[in-house]
Structure 1
Amino acid sequence: MFNGIALLILLGFGVGIVMLVRRSILTQHRSDLLSLAAAGNDNERANAFRVLRSLRARTIAGMAAMVSGGAVALVLQQEFTAAAGLPLAVAPAGMWALSAAVFACWRLPHEFTGPSTESSLQVSAELTPRSTGTFGPAWGIVLPAVLLGASALGLVVAGFLSGTDEQGRFRNLPYVSAGGAELDTNMVVTHIQLGVGTAGPFPGWYYGLPVLALLLLGAGLNLWALKTNARRPRMRDLRLLAFDDAVRTNVGYVVSTGFSAMLCFQIAPMMLAAAVAIRSSGMNPGYVVGQVLDQDTIPTMTLDPVLGFLALAIAVVALLLLVIGTVLLVRLLGWMGTTVRPLQLPATDSAIA
């Protein structure tokens, strides 16, 4: 019966991911950077394509940084097995920190030599201030901030609840349980004995502090990248203003979506590990005072209802974060894909003046 319910849950989870990802793909509306870059005369078009080449190179470098970070984490996991999975535990945050550093430090060009005569005669200035959240999704600041705050709070709480393992690392969950019973001469349970134990792995300070440090580093680089994207001077060619906005929007979506997806994939596995440890700590032999035992009696394990509900709730939230992270990852790949395509205009666009 339990296996059937678990199978139905897994099937429903898989169908939900497929539907959300499909909806996510079909509802994305991205500007065609190539078409917008073709506006204006030859000099303005050349300037736009310089920006596109830089944007494509930066996107590829950011993707390479993420892949390299994941590869390093796998190698460290194989080489340092005594680290108890720490390289993999910090891998998502470390991968995004490397990628965010690329987006934050690599500036896109905005000043060009030899401006066109038409554009140099026209001077314009925007009265609307550009802030960190001006470009990109409407949730680009709120969602990552909520996820980061909840993640940091959860890691701190888990750290205070954690206990040491045999090597003194805070990666276990200590608990008190009714693990034994006192019997009289007739094998009747007269008293329930309390014992102590530990369950793990648990996201205590051993995992939580490195992850928290990388999350804060990634958040700082993320804000830096969004700020430089918004504050970057405008392109002077008036007919490229729509292209300039589209580039900024693309960068805003990539940075905000990437950071949000990383937060989901970083905290969800740790939540699942915490749920398993909490559930294990709530399992107790079902001794009852007055129960008659014999040598062949195997006590039935019972689950504390409060701890069982808490573990289930944490596991459900973790699965929802995995769904959200998958949808955000698809969106991230879509936005990145618009910048890594070959920079070749269709024949119908080549004649635009």
Structure 2
Amino acid sequence: MSGVLVLLVVIVVAAIVVLRAVHLVRRRAVLPGRLLPPPGSPSSMEAAALLAALRRRGGAAVIAVAAVVLLCLAVQAVWPSGGGLPIVLAPALALLVLTGTHAVWPLPDEPAPTASTRTHADITTRRAGGFGPSWGYSLPALLMAATLASVIVAGLVATPDEAGRSREYGYAIAASALPGEVGPASGTTGPFPGWYYGIPVIVVLLVSALLLGWALHRNARRPRLRGAGLVAFDDAVRTCVGFALAAGAGTLLALQLAVLGLMAGPALLNAARNIPGAAVSEGGGMAGADVPTLWAGVAVLVLALVLLGVVAVLGATFMSWILGQRRSPAGQPGRLQPGGAHR
């Protein structure tokens, strides 16, 4: 029954993301297809080729992310003794293929100009963070730092399971709380995001961060289209890439942190129930629970739920910019803020 409930929640969230993304596409004015010059105009073929390549790369990135998630689910199904490692690692691997696709898939440049071709010089410095949202660097960096810090802290407090893998949370019970016990007792609960999960997540996230930085750098430093009338279209393409990378990376990083929280929260709550916070009651049972551990578990679960909301918002933003890479109906106007930056 719980599995069916989780599936229904996933379907509802996915439907909300898609509907919100379609709404954003229809409302947003800054999309490359809306600034594409009409057929027959100077450099129209180069601009159309650039938009087609952008569309193919965006579609390939989405397909690659979906393939990685499905592959992780398949590996989990045939490797149940893995302790859920494929599921925990899925968001980080999805981020790796998303950033990798944008980093290694180049967009086409215009051919060398002829002697009669009129060109213009762009003396404005283009920075990696100059296109896309104003939070394009700060939000992914914050989520990346929070994820890495959480993994390190969880790894330091985790204990080995029966197979020696660091994926349990250990707790101690005072001897005074256990009748007949000579010394203090201890126990473990899990799964808990220890080093067994944390080391692979750290490695994949660090590689993904390098690819993300390189993809943003290439997006800014890509040669400018030479036509003087294509500046707005060229900026729109860069803005679209900046939004897709920032929103996509933010979505997957928030999802990664939420998955870790959904593991750690129940483990802490289970440990709090097993750690007595008071002396043995008259009936011989344990009275109370460990309050700090209890509140820590509640806080982690609440944070995980908040992060799932962030995943829905950023996921809709990501999909809207991927959908917005298509060609729009002719005659539909567009506008772009200077420098391509948006809030």
Per the shorter chain, which TM-score range? 0.7 to 0.9
Q: Which residue of structure 2 aligns with residue 124 of structure 1?
A: 121
Pair 1:182-2:179 in alignment: yes
Give the conservation status (yes or no) of the 8 Å contact 2:219–2:242. yes
Query: Scaled by the length of structure 2, what TM-score is found?
Result: 0.84
SS in 2 for 1:129: coil
Specify every segment of 5 or more residues in structure 2 that has no aligned partner in the other structure, as ranges.
1-8, 333-343
User: Residues of 1 paired with 2:185 and 2:305: CA distance?
Assistant: 33
The letter for the 2-side match of 1:112 is: P
Distance 1:248 1:289 in 2: 64
* Partner of residue 340, structure 2: none
Residue matched to 1:231: 221
Ranked by relative contact order (alpha carbons within 8 Å, sequence separation 6 or more), the top structure is: 2
Partner deviation per Cα, 1:131-161 (whole Å, 9 max, x = no partner)? 1100011000011111111111110111111
Number of equivalent positions:
318
Match of 2:262, SS? helix
Q: Secondary structure at the match of 2:219?
A: helix
1:324, 1:310 → 2: CA distance? 21
Q: CA–CA distance in 2 between the matches of 1:242 and 1:288?
A: 68
CA RMSD of aligned residues (A): 2.9
Deviates more, 1:29-38 or 1:63-72: 29-38
- 1:9-158 equivalent positions in 2, closer than 5 A: 25=23, 29-38=28-37, 41-112=40-111, 117=116, 120-126=117-123, 128-158=124-154
Alignment of 1:250-269 (within 5 A): 250-269=240-259
Partners of 1:264 and 1:207 lie apart in 2 by 17
Identity percentage over the alignment?
33
In structure 2, C-alpha distance between the alignment counterparts of 1:122 and 1:23, rounded to whole Å: 37
For 2:246, the aligned partner's letter is S
- Which is greater in Rg? 1
- TM-score of the two chains, using structure 1 as the length reference: 0.82
Paired with 1:36 and 1:29, the residues of 2 have a C-alpha distance of 13
Match 2:307 to one of 296, 299, 321:
321
* Aligned match of 2:323: 337
Taking the aligned partners of 1:147 and 1:97, their CA distance within structure 2 comes to 15
Q: Whole-Å Cα distance in 2 between the matches of residues 211 and 254 of structure 1? A: 22
Residue deviations 1:86-126 (CA, integer Å, cap 9, x gap): 01110011012112111101111122256694xx2343232
Structure 1 SS opposite 2:167: strand
Displacement over 4 Å in runs of 4+:
21-28, 113-117, 285-291
Q: Quote the residue 2:6 is aligned against.
A: none
* Equivalences for residues 267-286 of structure 1 within 5 A: 267-284=257-274
The offset of 1:276, in angstroms, is: 1.0
Residue 334 of structure 1 aligns with an amino acid whose one-letter code is: S
Letter in 2 for 1:229: N
- The residue number in structure 2 matching 1:303 is 289
Which moved further from structure 2: 248-257 or 268-277?
A: 268-277
Q: Which residue of the other structure, out of 208, 212, 215, is the alignment partner of 1:218?
A: 208
Deviations 1:267-303 (A, max 9, x none): 102112111111111224769658544xxx6x25522
2:335 aligned partner: none
1:229-263 deviation line (CA, Å, top 9, x unaligned): 00111110111110000000000000111001000
For residues 116 and 140 of structure 1, what CA distance do their matches in structure 2 show?
A: 40
SS in 1 for 2:179: strand
